Amino acid sequence: MAILPILCYPDPRLHKVAQPVTAVDERVRAIVDDMFATMYDAHGIGLAATQVDVHERIVVIDVSEERDTPLVLINPEITWASAEKQVGDEGCLSVPGIYDGVERSTAVHVRALDRDGQPRVIEAEGLLAVCIQHEMDHLLGKVFVEYLSPLKRNRIKTKLLKQQKQAERA
């Protein structure tokens, strides 16, 4: 398993729409394994393939305290979302150090393939529901800061670009 580089906002590749996975084979399972290694290494709870510059509909999630409940969603599709919404602070491995409030449905039902290509339906609520919605946004080329005001978004973009330039000089 390899630790993959995570794209940082405002990298334009984060805005590419992911394509459906046509076959769950060894290549896709290797991507899933690398994504889990990358997510755990970065202390994240979710990672979309888009964030590691793989533009296929693959998401890995583990919201457990023990980091022992991996969830793989290949070609995920939200089939139902609660009308009830809640604003919660979100962060993102592609937007390091930034947290802000985003409104999400409190529960969702998702249809997807698992690591072995078997269909499953997940009924999620709370943190798992938020994480699924956040990661699925990535597959559509959307980063959570796009829910924020243009002023906040521009401040974040400026801050992250400045940090990237300082890191390149170091």
Please enumerate, by residue number, every residue annotated as part of a binding site for Fe cation. Answer: 92, 134, 138
- 143 vs 150: CA distance, rounded Å: 13
Out of 77, 125, 135, 146, the active site residue is 135
β-bridge partners, 121: 111
Residue 31 has which token pair? Answer: 């991507």
Binding-site residues sit at 92, 134, 138
Residue identified by tokens 């994480």 is 131
Helices (H) and strands (E) in the chain, counts: 3, 7
Residues in the chain: 170
Per the annotation, the verdict on 135 as an active-site residue is yes
* DSSP 3-state of 146: helix
- Catalytic positions, please? 135
